[in-house]
């Protein structure tokens, strides 16, 4: 195993410049390793690119792209997770074009979104692989684009002119939002934004002073996957180990094996993935793991639940997993990705908050064992950025312990939304009412939170907030109550939302049932009764409707989160069969 410390990162302006630097200074050091699992019992087939080899592939593909389009043109990445995705992304940047990280047409349930994004971005070129070439050509049959298979471009095309010199303020790529609360919009991320955010993330997780290995299965079209598995290691000259998300979903132990196989690992996953590992990894699989060298496990869910951390640590602590490796974090595409993070080596910060006080916008302490307490994890301090909690209506800066909208300012904040001038002005050009908050424009995140003991505590999303009789209710709190109320409710596959009614807002829950049972085998009246009773007792809410649907029915965003907005739309359109009806 290569334990040598990489040299200090130079002051490059773009990711391709970093690639060129490492290729010249550490040509034989491993840059990216891609782990394929061709069979169910496969323990992984590794393919590795050194920095020299990566540089050759990037320059060859950049030269090929330059034949198809001019600098500034959009290049859509419709590649499977693998080396072609990384080289295609970096080649687009090296050629002075604007990358659009996407996915092949075969990704289940996302064809409509893919078509919408392609129409919005209007790329001149699509990059894919030989394996996906036919389906991509079929999908793009009526789209005026040229399709290039990255793995069909020979090394001989490498051109020493690349990478082109690019200004830090030039747009590097369009990061389309996941669409959890609105239609996807392309955030313009500049070269300066992504380099700044990569450095912020490296600093937050201790990777700026110590060598680490980045291990990830998150999709590279998602902001966290792209920055953690590509931008950060390229900026620091670190090795990145990447596997396909589907391989993780089929056997989550594959991710844990990679964590165990590399030195000082930094990795990331959402809440559901940690709980999935706890439930799906067998005792025999667990016994073979050695996790002593895990440096940081990032959880970027909103909000992060301490219970998820506790369950994962209880399941894998005996394998040597350091209890201080858990790093609850907060970020969003509009800020490239990383905003705030708990630091590795520090104990998890836990906050038990009074649910009734939260409903009025106050974060007041409660006893952790109080059934009406909301348990949340602190997401640390901002990483090289400024953060304020602001009243979303008056724009007044709020004090510690008051709940408001999270506003962010920093060199990682994107320049705006692609072709959406008014939305860009409203979201990226906010100004607090109090000039003392600091000069310049601020990013309105649309997320709610507070600051307690110098820790950011994320409480929910502004657009998802359920307001009944003047009281605020966070949908994720209701969802947590519902999934604990009956064993047949599938965890993290349900949505709570409100719909208009004759007497005010009506609260609805749409939940998938567990895969271990059939709908016909569930006592639906008992399930609905248990759910209604639990929500009534804990939240003081009467559910107007409880809908139980088959696994895979509740829609998710491209990043894997449940889309409450789309679930609400489908419910109002009558797409779901009612399992419980309002009395």
- The predicted model gives 415-443 an average pLDDT of 92
Tell which residue, 387, 364, 505, has the closest CA to residue 447. Answer: 387
Q: How many CB atoms lie within 10 A of CB 439?
A: 7
Residue 582: predicted pLDDT: 42
pLDDT of residue 181: 47
The confidence score (pLDDT) of residue 7 equals: 57
Quick: pLDDT tens for 239-271: 999 999 999 999 999 999 999 999 999 999 988
Statement: residue 1 has pLDDT above 80 = no
pLDDT at 581: 41
Q: Measuring CA to CA, how many Å separate 550 from each of 173, 214, 364, 514?
A: 37, 36, 39, 8
The tens digit of pLDDT for each residue in 216-230 reads 999 999 999 999 999
Residue 559 has a CB neighbour count (10 Å cut-off) of 20
| Residue 99: its H or E element | strand 98-101
User: CA 294, CA 285: separation in Å to the nearest integer?
Assistant: 18
> Above 60 in pLDDT, residue 554?
yes
Task: Report strand pairing: 239-243 vs 265-269.
Answer: unpaired
Using alpha carbons, select from 345, 336, 218, 235 the residue that is nearest to residue 272. Answer: 218
Cα–Cα distance for residue pair 466/464, rounded to 1 Å: 6
User: What is the spatial distance between Cα 301 and Cα 330, in angstroms, rounded to a whole number?
Assistant: 7
What pLDDT digit, counting tens, does each position of 450-465 carry? 999 999 999 988 888 8
């Amino acid at each position: 195993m290569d334990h040598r410390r990489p040299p200090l990162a130079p002051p490059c302006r773009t990711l391709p410049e970093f690639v060129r630097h490492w290729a010249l200074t550490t040509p034989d050091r491993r840059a990216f390793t891609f782990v394929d699992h061709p069979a169910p019992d496969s323990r992984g087939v590794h393919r590795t690119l050194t920095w020299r080899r990566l540089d050759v592939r990037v320059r060859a593909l950049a030269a090929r792209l330059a034949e198809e389009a001019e600098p500034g043109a959009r290049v859509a990445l419709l590649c499977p997770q693998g080396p072609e995705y990384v080289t295609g992304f970096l080649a687009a940047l090296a050629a002075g074009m604007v990358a659009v990280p996407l996915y092949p047409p075969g990704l289940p349930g996302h064809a409509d979104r893919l078509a919408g994004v392609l129409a919005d971005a209007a790329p001149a070129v699509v990059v894919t692989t030989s394996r996906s070439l036919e389906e991509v050509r079929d999908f793009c049959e009526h789209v005026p684009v040229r399709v290039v298979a990255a793995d069909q471009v020979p090394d001989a095309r490498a051109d020493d002119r690349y990478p082109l010199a690019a200004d830090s303020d030039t747009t590097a790529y369009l990061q389309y939002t996941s669409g959890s609360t609105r239609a996807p919009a392309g955030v313009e991320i500049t070269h300066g934004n992504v380099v700044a955010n990569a450095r912020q993330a490296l600093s937050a997780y201790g990777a700026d002073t110590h060598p680490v290995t980045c291990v990830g299965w998150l999709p590279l079209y998602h902001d966290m996957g792209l920055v953690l598995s590509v931008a950060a290691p390229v900026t620091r000259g670190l090795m990145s180990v990447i596997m396909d998300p589907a391989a993780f979903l089929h056997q989550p132990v594959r991710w844990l094996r990679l964590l165990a196989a590399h030195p000082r690992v930094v990795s990331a996953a959402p809440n559901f993935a940690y709980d999935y590992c706890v439930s799906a990894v067998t005792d025999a699989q667990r016994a073979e793991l050695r996790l002593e060298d895990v440096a940081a496990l990032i959880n970027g869910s909103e909000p992060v639940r301490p219970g998820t951390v506790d369950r994962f640590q209880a399941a894998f602590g005996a394998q040597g997993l350091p209890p201080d490796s858990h790093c609850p974090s907060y970020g969003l595409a509009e800020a490239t990705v990383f905003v705030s993070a708990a630091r590795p080596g520090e104990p998890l910060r836990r906050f038990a908050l009074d649910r009734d006080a939260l409903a009025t916008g106050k974060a007041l302490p409660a006893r952790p064992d109080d059934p009406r307490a909301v348990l949340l994890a602190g997401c640390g301090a901002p990483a090289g950025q400024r953060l304020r909690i602001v009243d979303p209506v008056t724009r007044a800066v709020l004090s510690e312990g008051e709940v408001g909208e999270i506003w962010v300012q920093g060199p990682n904040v994107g320049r705006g939304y692609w072709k959406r001038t008014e939305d860009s002005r409203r979201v990226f050009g906010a100004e607090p009412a109090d000039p003392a908050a600091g000069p310049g424009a601020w990013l309105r995140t649309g997320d709610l939170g507070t600051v307690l003991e110098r820790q950011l505590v994320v409480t929910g999303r502004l657009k998802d907030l359920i307001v009944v009789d003047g009281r605020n209710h966070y949908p994720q709190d209701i969802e947590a109550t519902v999934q604990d109320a009956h064993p047949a409710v599938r965890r993290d596959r349900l949505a709570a939302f409100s719909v208009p009614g004759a007497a005010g807002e009506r609260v609805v829950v749409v939940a998938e049932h567990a895969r271990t049972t059939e709908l016909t085998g569930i006592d639906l009246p008992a399930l609905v009764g248990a759910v209604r009773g639990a929500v009534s007792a804990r939240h003081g809410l009467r559910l107007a409707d409880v809908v139980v649907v088959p696994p895979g029915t509740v829609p998710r965003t491209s990043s894997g989160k449940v889309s409450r907005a789309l679930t609400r739309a489908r419910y109002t359109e009558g797409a779901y069969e009612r399992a419980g009806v309002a009395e």
